Structure formats: structure tokens, C-alpha cells
């Protein structure tokens, strides 16, 4: 049980709820489903009541978003933070999808791929797969002797 | 009918031989006439030095004049049969198929909105051609200012989302800026060069038309011996008086000069670093610049890479062409005389270094000459300065009543003036003869007045350049650097104080020199007065021409108008749209520190961290230092972090994830006070 007084604890949880709401709003989560998400997140966060409410709530936000990646794509991210970031990019990319703007799609049914598009962003998206090649430095050596004759193009055979 | 490389070489030799004769014969006559005008008849040691300087300068003036005259004739005739844009066009008339092409834009600490607005316009123009599938765009960032690179990442993501450019437009940032711009390009080639046949290199201020880019690839595909095709970029969108004058001059005179250059360069030319297409495989095999042996200024990293790369490409047997007739190639000009000189400072140092490259083994004779030509574009100023100083000394020591062949002196003066001004007059005539063309420069009256005013301003600024270029050369040879601030691209009003600080020395030189010339001979003073006037007026000249208000007022009065301003090309219209779009977005977001945005804003944080690689291991000392930085940012605010600390945190995936979560867990007061992002908590 938390050691703080019930009234002050409630105020802290109210603050946490507002912060989660702000976070989801910043992610452009539609109001229709935002409240339900906030309630779910806060409920889970309260289960970790040994932490300050704000910290517990924000950690749960990341876990919640990360779970979406697992749920929709079957991928288990290395950390909740990585999964959360991947999901945020997915949502952001999907928001420009011309076929279905994400506002028209219920949050829960977002998929990581849609009509061949991958809604993820990784180093591979920022740059294509590396295909390494060796690029050796060119030789720029001062002409050793007979410079003038070379300059005048008199010994082309030699330079070739 | 196909023109083989062998035939081309024969034609080039004939043309260059003709040019040599056309330059050397009048130069010798000019030197002889000059000797006759001297008080000691060319026998005094000072006079011999003068004659050498005069001969060198006169040679280059004649090269310029013949290049302009040839360009003028080509423009008048209207069909140059030997130009790269149409060389070896198949008779069947079907379009040449395209090959995979990378469009690369190296950038370094630029304004991200402007860069991406230009790239957006270029991309959309290419999309219009229906050939986008053959092109991939690469933004190659060398930015080391944390705020700049966060801006770039977000701008890249925003552009990709807007134009559906994911997997077509790529962004990478180098952490270590080895060999600056040329190293940036070589790094791209090492990693992705094998994926593409060609690359079109853009500068941060470039905009290119899609149709021209398609034509460039087709020209390369038709001519397998061609390694590089350089387009003629023209300046656009300038506001300050100085830049508008340069923009006008470039737009009116450059096509004629470029046509003339293409006539005698043919496939053995140079390229200017951007708005250019390059065949990747030979570039990778032959043009990776080594570190020059020896000590600076000739040793060390090669600073002006483009001329050297062209020479190496040519040495490897590939042609380097200038395509002067392809439209849709734009760039921007430095906004003020000071910014122009700052750029010259870098270029001067780079070109002088080519003295070491010029004697490299195996370079074609033409490339050696072009490297000398590049060196002369700055040393010419020093030679001119020396010539004037020697003339002053001669005027001082000449015996009173010394006989001077006045008639020949006047003839020589007219010839020199003709050499200097005939190219401008020819360009003017070429525009005036066509009503539509003169209308695109603001009408016949506006065009004529603009040429007159441009001539006056260039005559005033020429002595200032002479003094500064001479100083740059001397300092470079002494291995000393000149401290200037970063180059401005946009409008920046120069204060009187700054103008005085930069040009007080030039003004003083003009005043002292004027007094000496007056005491030497009032006639000599009158002869020297155009040079003296430019030097004495350098402070107001630099200050007033840096003003955007004067530039816009001139535009309003139809002065220094260019065709792009009369009829805005679709690409530039799109560029302006993009600028407005991004400015509106920025205004809607409000003032925000990009570092704060990358930490706080959920999407910005996600995009930024998507670029970072997870680290496998980290020394304990590094881990502790970064933990301490995060604590400092959390408890004292991000403003307490230095730029280096911000950069270190921005490069660390775990730190950015951690900060994001911890900042969002801060109490309301700290969250709002230290990490304000409009629309979220501010």
C-alpha cells in the first residue's frame, strides 16, 4: 500500500491521468478511444503502486504502446521503450496513408502493414541496405622527370 | 550520325589551336603597343616587369573575349551541332531508356526547411515526368549542430510522409566528417554507390527540373565515354541589391560564356560541384581524392574537389561536358559582397592548392591548363594589383616631360575597355534583338538600364575584390587563415559598423594611394581614379548593396529582373509553396528548442530514436557521464547542457528513450518550466 495519505494520493493519480491523457493527445489518438485507453493504462499503473503515480503511469504508457507491436505484428521488442517508439512511428506514418487516414480507422485495428506499406521506421527505411564497395584513393603524384615534355604532350606513350 | 571520341578529339584540337592563335596574336600586339606607351620605352627593369604582368592579364582578357564572342555567335546561329544534350541522339526518335540514378544532396548545418523545400520541388518535378521509379534521393548530412540534425530528421520524415517518399527518399548523417563534402560523397559511394549507375549531385541551395534530370541521364546513356555532364545553374530568388545584381548578370551573361566554353572545352571540361550528373563506377575507380603530399597550402586534404575530380575523370579517359542549354538548373547567390568574399576565400585557397595537382603525372594538357585557369581567376587580381602599383611607382619616377605615345595609349585603352565591356554589350544585343527575351529581363529600357547599372556596380566592386583576393593569396601562401563568420544564405542586413570593420583597410588603401597618385601626376591620378573610387567607397558599397529593401525597390522599378521572375517556373513555384507550408507548420508549432522537441514530443522522439542503433556495450565511464548529463537535464533543465552534451545524448538510443519517459514523469511545474513544447505543455 502506498504510504501517502488517500487524498493526496488521489490528487497524484489525477495528475498522472491528466499526463497520460496529454501524451495520447500529443500522439493524436482520437478522443473517442482516448478515455478508454487512459483508464486501462491508469488501472494497470495502479497495480505498480510502489512507484510514484506519474512514473508508474508513464512507464505503463510505454508498455501499453509496445504491446500493440506484439499484438499486431507478433514481434517482441527488446524493450518497451523500443516497442513504444516503433508503434508511435507506425501511427505517425499511417496518419498520412491516402487510402485510410488513421483518424477513420479505429485505434485498435491499426495494423503494421497496409496494402504493402510497412508502418515501421528503422535504419533500413532511412537508408537502403548497404552494399559495400572499395573506393581506393586516386594516385596524384607529381610528374617525376621530363615534366615539361609531358606538359607539352610529347611523351604520351610513356604516360600511357 | 555518331561522333566517336576520336573524331571529337580531332575537332577539339582544331578549335583549341584556333583559340590559341586568336589569343596570342592580339596579346603580342597589345604588349608591343603597351611598351611604346611607357616612358622608358620598355627598357627599364620596372617596365619589363610591367610588360610581363600586362601580357599575362591581356592573355586572359582575350580568352574571355573570344569565349564570349564564340558563345554569342552560337546563340545567334541557334544550333550548335556538337553539344552534349543532343550528341549521338538516335535517328529513330524513341526516348533513350533510363538507368538507376541517385540524386544526392550533401548538406551541413543548413536551414532544414529551405533544404527540404528545394528537395520537395525537385522530387515533385521528377514525379511529373513519370520517370520517378529510376531515381532515388539521398540527403547526406554532415551536420554537427544537434538542433540542425534533429530538424533535418523531422523534415525528412515529414517530406516522405507528404509525398509518399519512404524508400525513395533517404537520409543519413555522418558522425565523423572525414574530408568534408568530397568525403561525404565518397562515403555514399562506398555504401550505396554500387546500387546506381549515375548520381546527380545537388548543393543545399539547388533546385532542378525533373525533365532536365531525365535528359541528363539519357545523354549519359547515349554516350558511354562521358563521365560528367555539368548543367549551367542560374541564381534565383535573391532579394538583396548585391545578390540581385549578380543574379541578373549571371542570367544574362553566363549562357553566352558557357556556350563559348563548351565550344572549346568539348569533352575535356570542368565541373562545378553541383547540378551535375556523374557516372558512378569510373568516379569510384578514379576520383577518390588522396591527401596531397607536402605541407599546406599545397599539401593536405584537397579543398576544391570538383576541378580535380574532373581532371582525374578526364585522365581516366572519360569526357567531362558542360551542357549550357538544359534549362531547369537553379542555385542561390551569396547575399552580400562580404559573403561573396567569404566564399572566394575558400575557393581561392582551394584553387591555389591546384598548383600542386597541376603537375601530377598523366593529366591531359587541357586539364593542366584549366587548373591554371582556375588559379588565375584569383591570382589575376594580384597581378592586376601589382601592375597598378608598378604603374604608380613608374609615374612617380618618370622624368618630367617623358615622351609617351599618346595615340597608342588611347588605342590601347579602347582595346582594353572593349575587352572588358564587349561581352556585356553582346549579351545585351542578343537579348534586345528578341522582344520576348528582352521582356523576360524587364523590357528593353529596364534591361538596358540594368546592364548600365550592373556595369557601374561591378566596376566599383572590382578594385575591392582585387585587394581582398590579393590578401587571400598572400595569406594562403603564408599558410595563414582569415577569420570570417559562417556564410549567410538568406538576407542579412549588414550594419555600418560591420561594413566599416571589414572595409576600413580597403578605404585607407584607396585614400593613401590617391594622395600618392596625385603627387606623382594629376593625369595619372585621373587615370587611376575609377580604381580609387571603388576602394574609397567600399564601406557604403558593401553596406548599401546588402540591403533587401534596395533590392526589392530595384525589382519594383524593373531593374535587374530575370526571366524566372517574369514567368515563375513550376519548380520554383513549388519551392515557394513548400517554404510557405513549412513556415506555416513552424508558426503553428511555435518556438521550440529542437532538442526539447526530440525528447518530449512523442512522434519526434520516436522518429529521432528510429535513426539510432542500440549499443552493444558501453564503457562504465561513458555510461556514468551520460547518466550524469541526463540528471542535469532533468533537474536543472536542458538549457544547462552544452552543445556537445546535447549531441552526445542525442546519439544515445537508451538515453533518449530514458529521457523521454523521465521527462514525462516530472512534476507539472518542472515539466512546463524546463521542457515546454507548444500544444503539449506550453
pLDDT tens sequence across B560-582: 999 999 999 999 999 999 999 99
Residue B484's pLDDT is 47
pLDDT, tens digit, 9 for 90 and up, residues B98-149: 999 999 999 999 999 999 999 999 999 999 999 999 999 999 999 999 999 9
Place of cell 598572400: B474
Does the structure show a pLDDT above 50 at B321?
Answer: yes
Measured from the Cβ of residue B403, the count of other Cβ atoms closer than 10 Å reads 8
Decide which of B483 and B669 is more confident. B669
Q: Contacts of residue A134 in chain B, CB cutoff 8 Å?
A: 190
Q: Calculate mean pLDDT across residues B535-548.
A: 95
Is A70 a domain residue? yes
Task: Count how many domains chain A has.
Answer: 1
Is A156 a domain residue? no
Q: Which of A10, A13, A12 is nearest to A39 (CA)?
A: A13
Residue A88: domain span: 1-102
pLDDT, tens digit, 9 for 90 and up, residues B484-537: 445 555 566 788 999 999 999 999 999 999 999 999 888 889 989 999 999 999
Is A53 a domain residue? yes
Contact A85 B610 (CB under 8 A): yes
pLDDT, tens digit, 9 for 90 and up, residues B36-89: 888 877 788 899 999 999 999 999 999 999 999 999 999 888 777 888 988 888
Is A64 a domain residue? yes
- N-to-C CA span, chain A: 87
Residue B186's pLDDT is 92
Q: Which three cell numbers stand for residue B123?
A: 522530387
Q: Which of A138, A142, A151 is nearest to B294 (CA)?
A: A142
Decide which of B329 and B37 is more confident. B329
Contact A135 B186 (CB under 8 A): yes
- Calculate how close chain B gets to A4, using CA atoms only, in Å: 16
Decide which of A128 and B648 is more confident. B648
With CA atoms as reference, the chain A residue closest to B597 would be: A26
Helix spans in B521-616 (H): 522-536, 538-545, 548-556, 563-566, 570-589, 594-600, 602-610
Q: What stretches of B168-292 adopt beta strand conformation (E)?
A: 169-173, 198-201, 207-208, 226-231, 234-235, 276-279
Interface test with A, best of B355, B610, B657, B663 (most A CBs within 10 A): B610
B525 CB contacts (<8 Å, ≥6 apart)? Answer: B514, B517, B518, B532
Q: How confident is the model at residue B402 (pLDDT cuts 50, 70, 90)?
A: low
With CA atoms as reference, the chain B residue closest to A63 would be: B661
Distance (Å, whole) CA B210 – CA B517:
56
Decide which of B472 and A133 is more confident. B472
- Calculate how close chain A gets to B357, using CA atoms only, in Å: 7
Is A9 a domain residue? yes
- The separation between CA B443 and the C-alpha centre of its own chain, rounded to angstroms, equals 29
Distance (Å, whole) CA B443 – CA B445:
6
pLDDT tens over chain A, length 160 residues = 344 444 578 889 999 999 999 999 998 787 777 888 899 999 999 987 788 999 999 999 999 988 877 776 667 778 888 888 888 887 777 665 555 443 333 344 444 444 434 444 555 456 777 777 888 878 777 665 555 555 555 444 443 3
Does the structure show a pLDDT above 80 at B552?
Answer: yes
Place of cell 503511469: A57
Q: Contacts of residue B658 in chain A, CB cutoff 8 Å?
A: 81
Residue B488's pLDDT is 59
Q: Calculate mean pLDDT across residues B629-640.
A: 94
A:3-62 residues touching chain B, CB 8 A cutoff: 15, 19, 22-23, 26-27, 52, 54-55, 57-59, 61-62
Q: Contacts of residue A61 in chain B, CB cutoff 8 Å?
A: 664
- Calculate how close chain A gets to B260, using CA atoms only, in Å: 24
Does the structure show a pLDDT above 80 at B306?
Answer: yes
Does the structure show a pLDDT above 90 at B224?
Answer: yes
B:599-658 residues touching chain A, CB 8 A cutoff: 601-603, 605-607, 609-611, 613-614, 654, 657-658
All structural domains of chain B with their residue ranges: 586-674
Is A117 a domain residue? no
Does the structure show a pLDDT above 70 at B603?
Answer: yes
Residue B85's pLDDT is 87
Amino acid at each position: 500500500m502506498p504510504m501517502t495519505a488517500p487524498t493526496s494520493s488521489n490528487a497524484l493519480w489525477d495528475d498522472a491521468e491528466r499526463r497520460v491523457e496529454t501524451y495520447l493527445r500529443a500522439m493524436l489518438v482520437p478522443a473517442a478511444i482516448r478515455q478508454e485507453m487512459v483508464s486501462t493504462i491508469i488501472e494497470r499503473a495502479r497495480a505498480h503502486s510502489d512507484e510514484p503515480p506519474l512514473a508508474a503511469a508513464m512507464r505503463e504508457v510505454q508498455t501499453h504502446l509496445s504491446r500493440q507491436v506484439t499484438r499486431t505484428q507478433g514481434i517482441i521488442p527488446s524493450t518497451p521503450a523500443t516497442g513504444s517508439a516503433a508503434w508511435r512511428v507506425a501511427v505517425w506514418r499511417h496518419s498520412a496513408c491516402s487510402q485510410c487516414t488513421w483518424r477513420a480507422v479505429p485505434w485498435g485495428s491499426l495494423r503494421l502493414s497496409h496494402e504493402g506499406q510497412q508502418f515501421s521506421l528503422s535504419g533500413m527505411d532511412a537508408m537502403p541496405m548497404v552494399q559495400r564497395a572499395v573506393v581506393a584513393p586516386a594516385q596524384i603524384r607529381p610528374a617525376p622527370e621530363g615534366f615539361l615534355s609531358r606538359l607539352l604532350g610529347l611523351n604520351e606513350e610513356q604516360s600511357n | 550520325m555518331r561522333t566517336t571520341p576520336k573524331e571529337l578529339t580531332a575537332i577539339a584540337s582544331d578549335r583549341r589551336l584556333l583559340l590559341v592563335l586568336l589569343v596570342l596574336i592580339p596579346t603580342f600586339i597589345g604588349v608591343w603597343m603597351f611598351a611604346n606607351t611607357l616612358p622608358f620605352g620598355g627598357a627599364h627593369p620596372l617596365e619589363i616587369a610591367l610588360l610581363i604582368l600586362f601580357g599575362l592579364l591581356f592573355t586572359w582578357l582575350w580568352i574571355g573575349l573570344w569565349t564570349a564572342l564564340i558563345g554569342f555567335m552560337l546563340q545567334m546561329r541557334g544550333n550548335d551541332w556538337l553539344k552534349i544534350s543532343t550528341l549521338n541522339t538516335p535517328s529513330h526518335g524513341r526516348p533513350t531508356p533510363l538507368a538507376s540514378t541517385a540524386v544526392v544532396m550533401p548538406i551541413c548545418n543548413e536551414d532544414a526547411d529551405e533544404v527540404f523545400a528545394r528537395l520537395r520541388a525537385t522530387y515533385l518535378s521528377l514525379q511529373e515526368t513519370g520517370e520517378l521509379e529510376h531515381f532515388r534521393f539521398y540527403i547526406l548530412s554532415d551536420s554537427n549542430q544537434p538542433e540542425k540534425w534533429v530538424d533535418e530528421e523531422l523534415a525528412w520524415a515529414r517530406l516522405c510522409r507528404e509525398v509518399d517518399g519512404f524508400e525513395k527518399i533517404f537520409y543519413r548523417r555522418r558522425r565523423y566528417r572525414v574530408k568534408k563534402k568530397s568525403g561525404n560523397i565518397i562515403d555514399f559511394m562506398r555504401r550505396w554507390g554500387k546500387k546506381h549507375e549515375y548520381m546527380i549531385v545537388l548543393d543545399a541551395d539547388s533546385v532542378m527540373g525533373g525533365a532536365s534530370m531525365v535528359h541528363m541521364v539519357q545523354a549519359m546513356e547515349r554516350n558511354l565515354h562521358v563521365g560528367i555532364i555539368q548543367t549551367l545553374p542560374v541564381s534565383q530568388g535573391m532579394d538583396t541589391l548585391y545578390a540581385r545584381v549578380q543574379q541578373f548578370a549571371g542570367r544574362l551573361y553566363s549562357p553566352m560564356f558557357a556556350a563559348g566554353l563548351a565550344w572549346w572545352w568539348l569533352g575535356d571540361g570542368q565541373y562545378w560541384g553541383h547540378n551535375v550528373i556523374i557516372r558512378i563506377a569510373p568516379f569510384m575507380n578514379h576520383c577518390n581524392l588522396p591527401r596531397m603530399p607536402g605541407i599546406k597550402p599545397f599539401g593536405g586534404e584537397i579543398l576544391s574537389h570538383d576541378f580535380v575530380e574532373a581532371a582525374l575523370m578526364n585522365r581516366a579517359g572519360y569526357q567531362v561536358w558542360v551542357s549550357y542549354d538544359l534549362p531547369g538548373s537553379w542555385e542561390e547567390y551569396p547575399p552580400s559582397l562580404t559573403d561573396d568574399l567569404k566564399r572566394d576565400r575558400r575557393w581561392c585557397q582551394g584553387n591555389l592548392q591546384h598548383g600542386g595537382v597541376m603537375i601530377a603525372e598523366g593529366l591531359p594538357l587541357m586539364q593542366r591548363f584549366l587548373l591554371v585557369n582556375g588559379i588565375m581567376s584569383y591570382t589575376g587580381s594580384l597581378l592586376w594589383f601589382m601592375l597598378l602599383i608598378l604603374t604608380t611607382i613608374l609615374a612617380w619616377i618618370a622624368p618630367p616631360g617623358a615622351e609617351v605615345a599618346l595615340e597608342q595609349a588611347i588605342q590601347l585603352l579602347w582595346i582594353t575597355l572593349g575587352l572588358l565591356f564587349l561581352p556585356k554589350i553582346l549579351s545585351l544585343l542578343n537579348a534586345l534583338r528578341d522582344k520576348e527575351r528582352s521582356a523576360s529581363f524587364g523590357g528593353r529600357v529596364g534591361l538596358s538600364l540594368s546592364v548600365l547599372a550592373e556595369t557601374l556596380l561591378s566596376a566599383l566592386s572590382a578594385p575591392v575584390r582585387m585587394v581582398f583576393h590579393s590578401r587571400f593569396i598572400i595569406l594562403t601562401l603564408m599558410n595563414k587563415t582569415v577569420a570570417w563568420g559562417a556564410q549567410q544564405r538568406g538576407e542579412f542586413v549588414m550594419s555600418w559598423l560591420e561594413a566599416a570593420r571589414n572595409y576600413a583597410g580597403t578605404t585607407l588603401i584607396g585614400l593613401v594611394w590617391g594622395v600618392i597618385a596625385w603627387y606623382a601626376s594629376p593625369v595619372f591620378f585621373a587615370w587611376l581614379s575609377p580604381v580609387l573610387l571603388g576602394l574609397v567607397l567600399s564601406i557604403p558599397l558593401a553596406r548599401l548593396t546588402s540591403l533587401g529593401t534596395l533590392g526589392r525597390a530595384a525589382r519594383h522599378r524593373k531593374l535587374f529582373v530575370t526571366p524566372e521572375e517574369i514567368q515563375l517556373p513550376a519548380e520554383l513555384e513549388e519551392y515557394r509553396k513548400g517554404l510557405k507550408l513549412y513556415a506555416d507548420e513552424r508558426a503553428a508549432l511555435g518556438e521550440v528548442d529542437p532538442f526539447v522537441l526530440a525528447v518530449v514530443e512523442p512522434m519526434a522522439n520516436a522518429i529521432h530514436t528510429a535513426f539510432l542503433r542500440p549499443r552493444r556495450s558501453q564503457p562504465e565511464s561513458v555510461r556514468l557521464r551520460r547518466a550524469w548529463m541526463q540528471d542535469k537535464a532533468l533537474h536543472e533543465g536542458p538549457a544547462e547542457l552544452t552543445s556537445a552534451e546535447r549531441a552526445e545524448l542525442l546519439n544515445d538510443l537508451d538515453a533518449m528513450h530514458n529521457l523521454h519517459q523521465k521527462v514525462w514523469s516530472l512534476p507539472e511545474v518542472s515539466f512546463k518550466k524546463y521542457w515546454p513544447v507548444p500544444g503539449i505543455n506550453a
